Chains A and B, each alone.
Chain A
């Protein structure tokens, strides 16, 4: 299976995949594919990743209807929980940035915006 066989890639992505077709291990191609999909994420995708990890860390939130102006601290996430949620989100986004880069976010919406900016810049 080559990376070009994977579904969901537009023309830009197909073009970006070309250099990977020369016998690179599938895992490497898959990582490239993963990174490519991440770069294509919009703010809703990032918002959803944050809320998924929030539910993972604070199981009581599984029935909560998340809004952009929700504050994790007010949803019951303590400082350690919040740090875990952000690090889990950064890992899902393969984004290696210092936590300080998103420290000024006051709510989930602002966090989403900051992560989106970082994703575009990286």
Chain B
């Protein structure tokens, strides 16, 4: 991958829907205040008899009037969150006047509607003959592409791609590549709301990835980089960023959030969930090289930081090996929870909002950091002007992504 100086890549719009707030203002406010929303999950299909999976759920979606009621009727929770979140980003970037054929959409995430499907299977188990026709369309993740392209009139391209918990950042990288190659002038990247059922929760827990029940108070269970962490805690979210070239033909009438001077994807050549310090070092170095940044240039890291026992240790290993211990680091997942497919996009948005406010959000439950020498933001927010940020995402199957974000 090589970035040319002429084709500077910008983020010109964002949208966010999460358990801690819908819309960028509510989200930023909750993030800075460290206002989490963890509890024992209540959404139908999230628990089986006897389970107490902790997580953060969106209390109620607010639907903009402009969204088609007909589309919303058959849209899954993931589909509704996609339309709502894209609406915010669409307005934010002012895309109404862009040629629809010059707009693309990349949705990060695969198998994102599992809870919804589990509920439908249970509901129709004894009356399958009367299964609604819309199931034939809505069971596919790509239904989100259909929903969003119809609602917003997108005519360039729209597809989904999967990279486990790196899907959200992978979508951004694909969007960058699409505008850089001139396929479209504007490309929207979405990290889709991954709607887990109790099956996925149990599977992820059995794998040792999702946190245990040992904390009776769910708010204490989510503790990335803390000595007493024991896995990630799920948090519903969906994020959208709008990517454009600085020399895009359309007249920019919005202030860009940031430049994206470098990015990288590496694979560990390992199907399993255990990460690799070597693979993460490679992805960081490639992104820095493309940005023409030195380690000292980075003043903030938004890490993957899921709270996984081995994942957090491996990430710190890579950060130290890349000589980035000086940079401020906090854990957005400690407040939002882990959005899985959405995480990579949502955390880029968290980075942009911190950049905009010149304030770094706290990290909840970071009582005893696993590596004291890192420059942690702990219980309190810290006033800091971010100039050059590095955001990281990792996923099962050995995928690592890195994205450099520069103040505009």
**A57 contacts the other chain (Cβ, under 8 Å)?**
yes
Using C-beta atoms within 8 Å of the partner chain, give the interface range for chain A.
10 to 19
**Of B69, B74, B130, B131, the contact of A80 (CB 8 Å cutoff):** B74
Contact A83 B73 (CB under 8 A): no
**Of A59, A76, A87, the contact of B133 (CB 8 Å cutoff):** A87
Q: Interface digits, A66-110 against B, CB 8 Å rule (1 contact, 0 not)?
A: 000000000010001101100110110000100000000000000
CA distance A19 to B69 in the complex (A): 47
Contact B69 A59 (CB under 8 A): yes
Q: Interface digits, B47-73 against A, CB 8 Å rule (1 contact, 0 not)?
A: 000000000000000000000011001
* Chain B residue, CB-CB nearest to A99: B133
CA distance A53 to B380 in the complex (A): 54
**A117 contacts the other chain (Cβ, under 8 Å)?**
no
**B132 contacts the other chain (Cβ, under 8 Å)?**
yes
Which chain B residues lie closer than 8 Å to A80 at the CB level?
74, 133-134, 137
Shortest Cβ gap from A96 to chain B (Å): 5
Shortest Cβ gap from B144 to chain A (Å): 16
Interface SS of chain B: helix
Using C-beta atoms within 8 Å of the partner chain, give the interface range for chain B.
10 to 19
Contact flag A60-B69 (CB < 8 Å), given A80-B74, A91-B127: yes
Interface SS of chain A: helix
Contact B133 A90 (CB under 8 A): no
Contact B73 A87 (CB under 8 A): no
Which chain A residues lie closer than 8 Å to B131 at the CB level?
87
CA distance A91 to B123 in the complex (A): 14
CA distance A87 to B70 in the complex (A): 17
Q: Interface digits, B84-111 against A, CB 8 Å rule (1 contact, 0 not)?
A: 0000000000000000000000000000
CA distance A76 to B134 in the complex (A): 16
Contact residues of B between 129 and 148, Cβ < 8 Å to A: 129-134, 137
Q: Knowing that A60-B70, A80-B134, A87-B132 are A-B contacts, what are 10 other residue pairs whose CB atoms are under 8 Å apart, sorted by A's residue number?
A: A59-B70, A60-B69, A76-B70, A80-B133, A83-B134, A84-B132, A84-B133, A87-B130, A88-B132, A96-B129
Pick the 6 closest A-B CB pairs, nearest first. Answer: A83-B133, A91-B130, A84-B133, A59-B69, A84-B132, A96-B129
B residues apposed to A, CB below 8 Å: 69-70, 73-74, 127, 129-134, 137
12 A–B contacts, CB within 8 A, in A order = A59-B69, A60-B70, A76-B70, A80-B74, A80-B133, A80-B137, A81-B70, A84-B132, A84-B134, A87-B132, A88-B132, A91-B130
